[in-house]
């Protein structure tokens, strides 16, 4: 009887000590990773808002509006951004859980592989689609007669398919290069990342800015239109939010800590979340104030060309009645 009591006491003591150790470890994990928890929580909220915004854009362009050359690009862009945000949500949730429990799920090769390749695929697809849309918009402004008369009808769909395939090939290169060229692969990635950012972010931004300045400050001033303003703002934010991931990838050659690389990659969800906000703000801005619902704002942005052509044929009084 005495032995049984002693055994029970010792077991109770061991159990209480184990629980204390677990609680102390969890407390230490939370305090040690407190900045990571805050950052992950903030960007989790941003990713959720971006998911909702892109879902609204996909629903509107896919089911509520007649397609035109630019809405095809925007629809594919929103799908790429939605996919990237969904993956970012998973990655940030895993970071949050690992920061609380001192357990890293990224040590598993399958999980690490999926959560590395798929975001790269969606990120590059988003960048390529936005660049193609901006360059086509520039062509429609600079060469309006050629654009209306000689542009292939299915060019937008073909370009979107080619750009999705290009993003897939780039993702496959990220897989195959370490297997076949392990020594020179890091240098290739650094060079490709820099060239990719310059070609698909920096140079298109310069061309769009120069065209905007030409339209607004030239001898014959023209209003660039809501769609062009939305595309230009998207290009500006893609450059701003795309620069940190590119720098983080370049700094990875100097063996920076993993949390630094994680911080540099965080602006990618911001880039994917900002586009629906841009569409709403540009479409709802009228008479120096913001007005109208999300659906009305999207219609003003993406149906601008059709409405401007109709308004040029309608008398001024009736035009005011139809636009109110």
Instruction: Read off the pLDDT of residues 33-67 as tens digits, 9 standing for 90 and up.
Output: 666 677 777 888 888 999 999 999 999 998 888 88
Residue 84 placed within a domain: yes
pTM of the predicted model, to two decimals?
0.79
pLDDT value of residue 198: 86
The sign of the dihedral angle between the CA atoms of 78, 132, 268, 298 is: negative
pLDDT value of residue 255: 61
Residue 9 placed within a domain: no
297 or 105, which is more confident? 297
Largest CA distance in the chain: 104
pLDDT value of residue 19: 46
Question: Do 72 and 157 meet the contact criterion of CB atoms below 8 Å apart?
Answer: yes
Residue 215 placed within a domain: yes
Residue 228 placed within a domain: yes
Predicted confidence (pLDDT) per residue in 126-179, tens digit: 999 999 999 988 888 888 888 888 888 889 999 999 999 999 998 887 776 766
Q: Which 8-state DSSP code applies to residue 292?
A: S
> Quick one: which H or E segment has residue 320?
helix 316-323
CATH number for the domain including 32?
Answer: 1.20.1070.10
Of 233, 163, 164, 239, which Cα lies nearest the Cα of 201? Answer: 239
> Quick one: which H or E segment has residue 226?
helix 226-251
Residue 237 placed within a domain: yes
Residue 16 placed within a domain: no
Predicted confidence (pLDDT) per residue in 277-287, tens digit: 999 999 887 76
Residue 309 placed within a domain: no
Quote the number of domains for the chain: 1
| CA 58/CA 85 separation, integer angstroms | 14
pLDDT value of residue 31: 60
Using alpha carbons only, give the angle 157, 163, 165 rounded to the nearest 5 degrees.
Answer: 105
Instruction: List 311's β-bridge partners, or say none.
Output: none
Q: What is the mean pLDDT of residues 12-16?
A: 44
Residue 320 placed within a domain: no
Question: Do 245 and 194 meet the contact criterion of CB atoms below 8 Å apart?
Answer: no
The residue segments making up the domain with residue 157 are 22-304
pLDDT value of residue 185: 73
pLDDT value of residue 16: 46
User: 175: which 2 tokens?
Assistant: 């897989």
């Amino acid at each position: 009887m005495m032995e049984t009591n002693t055994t029970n006491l010792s077991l109770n003591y061991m159990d209480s000590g184990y629980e204390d150790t677990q609680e102390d470890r969890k407390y230490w994990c939370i305090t040690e990773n407190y900045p990571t928890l805050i950052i992950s929580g903030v960007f989790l909220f941003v990713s959720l808002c971006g998911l909702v915004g892109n879902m609204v854009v996909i629903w509107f362009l896919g089911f509520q509006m007649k397609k035109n050359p630019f809405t095809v690009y925007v629809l594919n862009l929103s799908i790429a951004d939605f996919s990237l945000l969904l993956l970012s949500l998973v990655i940030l949730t895993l970071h949050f859980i690992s920061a609380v429990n001192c357990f890293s799920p990224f040590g598993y090769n399958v999980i690490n592989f999926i959560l590395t390749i798929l975001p790269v695929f969606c990120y590059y697809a988003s960048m390529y689609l936005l660049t193609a849309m901006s360059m086509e918009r520039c062509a429609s402004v600079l060469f309006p007669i050629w654009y209306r008369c000689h542009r292939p009808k299915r060019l937008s769909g073909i370009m979107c398919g080619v750009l999705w395939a290009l993003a897939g090939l780039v993702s496959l290169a990220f897989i195959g290069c370490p297997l076949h060229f392990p020594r020179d692969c890091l240098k290739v990635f650094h060079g490709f990342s820099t060239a990719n950012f310059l070609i698909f972010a920096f140079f298109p931004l310069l061309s769009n800015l120069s065209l905007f300045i030409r339209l607004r400050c030239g001898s014959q001033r023209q209003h660039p239109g809501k769609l062009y303003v939305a595309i230009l703002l998207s290009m500006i934010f893609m450059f701003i939010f795309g620069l940190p991931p590119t720098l983080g990838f370049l700094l990875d050659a100097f063996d920076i800590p993993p949390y630094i690389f994680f911080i540099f990659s965080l602006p990618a969800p911001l880039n994917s979340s900002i586009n629906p906000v841009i569409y709403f703000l540009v479409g709802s801005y009228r008479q120096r104030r913001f007005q109208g619902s999300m659906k009305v704002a999207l219609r003003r942005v993406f149906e601008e060309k059709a409405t401007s052509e109709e308004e040029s044929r309608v008398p001024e009084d009736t035009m005011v009645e139809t636009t109110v």
